[in-house]
Structure 1
């Protein structure tokens, strides 16, 4: 893919968040539709060299459940990230329009398996997503779920302990704090890690089941206090419009373990017997 801005015609804006905007665009030399994410460099707190290194890492990733990065380059004060355009939209879109009260268990399990496969691949390559949520899970027309907005394209600001107070006062997020693990909010020097992705995955499971995240529409302060000091959220077998198996409730509880050190890995979660009930991509494509 070409690495100059004049090779792309920005057609329509499809997303905005933090210091970035996502566009549907036309790659003129190749005559193909792509998604282009434009990141304003002057608004970032991350060293540019680190950003470019992470973008190069993303270009090397190849997995059916991870959105590929075609290329990246800098034009003026803007970082351009060129990716495939996924016409199915995000899980967040589908939840809002088709499943406002939450999804049935078979759908949740099938989606969850794809998400875990993508996470397992990233974690095996010593990468953490750092911003896992339904907004960042895209639906391929073949019935695959793709992890998007990870690494350099997601949590561009690596928040360390010294900048946490500034982060709190600014309250400007790439994403939302509802998905953040307790240890991320407590801000050890390590910041985001792979175990925090598993917590976020557990919150996504709750979101798919209920149609909304825990503490939705609550203040930032309440989210922090409840996540750090309160009990972990859980899925009840009889939750609103749907009824769920003990197996799914247990899966959510394993992910939302407040002790990060004993939280299971993506590989361990994929061995859960519940995923024997997951369906294939054709089945998923018909239902989303």
Structure 2
């Protein structure tokens, strides 16, 4: 992991742009080339109990570095008690950032469909590589300057022994958890890559409505409600028929009844975007830039449900 040269001779850390499952994410500059990169910096003194998780994240990023629509990983460096993980920088921010600049904190369906299509391409690769992301949500989907969509933050991802293996650990963010995950440790419940398919459905719901179901209540309460509640649906006023038909392919109680990422790419709603390039997402970035200039003081402020989640 370490290099003979100090990381400070290789990269310059600029402003903080986000927070991962472990550590903070900064905009950075590769000094030799002038290229802008993302620097995820983790303090092992404060995250000492999670060193193995951090090592697993680095190993996973290395394995997935050439995957489609996955944050590209360039290397890892030690800086005293800190680890610097160097990755692609997404100047467009996260989908959650783009939502903040949109009316009612929600995205228009034409944008949500393209983002979903690109996320499914990445998920299909992950799942065929026997990886469950386990924390799929708007905050963990990044957009590059060209409009490319990238799945990021593999801090809680699981590598399965085989593509048919299952997990039974309770990880992720409560509001996006599948029912079989929310039931938690100690039960007979187990889950596999279909848990990410549920989270994809919640992520779509989040983009269209401005937040996940059950927002405004505690994460602990959401964990209790998710396995007992009917799967969320969108109304006729909120979404097209194709999207309303699509959502139950993701949001259904039984994992066996959820489609795979590969099959979801073949659905009518997703196929309707086949001629729509990712460059359309530049519209959202222009809107976000204008919003940032008009709301400088609010740029780093969380959405209401984010603040509730942070207090858990």
Please report the TM-score for the alignment, with normalisation by the length of structure 2: 0.77
Matches within 5 A, 1:62-141: 62-141=66-145
The answer to whether structure 1 residue 34 and structure 2 residue 37 are counterparts is: yes
Q: Deviations over 1:69-100 (max 9, x none)?
A: 11123433333211111111111011111243
Q: Return the offset for 1:177.
A: 1.4
Q: Return the offset for 1:276.
A: 2.4
- State how far apart, in whole Å, the 2-side matches of 1:263 and 1:177 are: 19
Contact in 2 for aligned 1:130/1:196 (Cα 8 Å): yes
2:73 is paired with a residue of what secondary structure? Answer: coil
- Residue number among 35, 58, 62 corresponding to 2:61 in the alignment: 58
Q: Return the offset for 1:228.
A: 1.5
Q: Return the offset for 1:109.
A: 1.3
- State how far apart, in whole Å, the 1-side matches of 2:76 and 2:248 are: 39
The answer to whether structure 1 residue 149 and structure 2 residue 126 are counterparts is: no
Contact in 1 for aligned 2:62/2:73 (Cα 8 Å): yes
Matches within 5 A, 1:200-239: 200-239=199-238
Q: Deviations over 1:213-251 (max 9, x none)?
A: 111121123211210211111111213xxxx22221121
1:199 is paired with a residue of what secondary structure? Answer: helix
- When the two structures are aligned, how many residues end up with a matched partner? 269
1:93 is paired with a residue of what secondary structure? Answer: helix
Q: Return the offset for 1:277.
A: 1.6
Contact in 1 for aligned 2:249/2:257 (Cα 8 Å): no
Contact in 2 for aligned 1:8/1:26 (Cα 8 Å): yes
Q: Return the offset for 1:254.
A: 1.6
- Residue number among 227, 236, 251 corresponding to 1:256 in the alignment: 251
> Which one scores higher on RCO, CA 8 angstroms, separation ≥ 6?
1
In the alignment, structure 2 segments of 5+ residues that lack a partner are 159-166, 286-312
- State how far apart, in whole Å, the 1-side matches of 2:271 and 2:19 are: 37
Contact in 1 for aligned 2:98/2:284 (Cα 8 Å): no
2:132 is paired with a residue of what secondary structure? Answer: coil
Q: Which moved more, 1:100-109 or 1:83-92?
A: 100-109
Contact in 2 for aligned 1:14/1:22 (Cα 8 Å): yes
Q: Return the offset for 1:154.
A: 4.2
- State how far apart, in whole Å, the 2-side matches of 1:16 and 1:287 are: 22
Please report the TM-score for the alignment, with normalisation by the length of structure 1: 0.83
Q: Which moved more, 1:201-210 or 1:68-77?
A: 68-77
In the alignment, structure 1 segments of 5+ residues that lack a partner are 165-172
Contact in 1 for aligned 2:147/2:281 (Cα 8 Å): yes
Q: Return the offset for 1:195.
A: 1.1
Q: Return the offset for 1:18.
A: 4.9
Change in Cα spacing, 1:17 to 1:142, as seen in structure 2 (3 Å) is: closer
- State how far apart, in whole Å, the 2-side matches of 1:155 and 1:147 are: 12
CA RMSD, aligned part only? 2.8
- State how far apart, in whole Å, the 1-side matches of 2:61 and 2:96 are: 23
Change in Cα spacing, 1:147 to 1:17, as seen in structure 2 (3 Å) is: closer
- Residue number among 260, 272, 277 corresponding to 2:272 in the alignment: 277
Change in Cα spacing, 1:131 to 1:181, as seen in structure 2 (3 Å) is: same
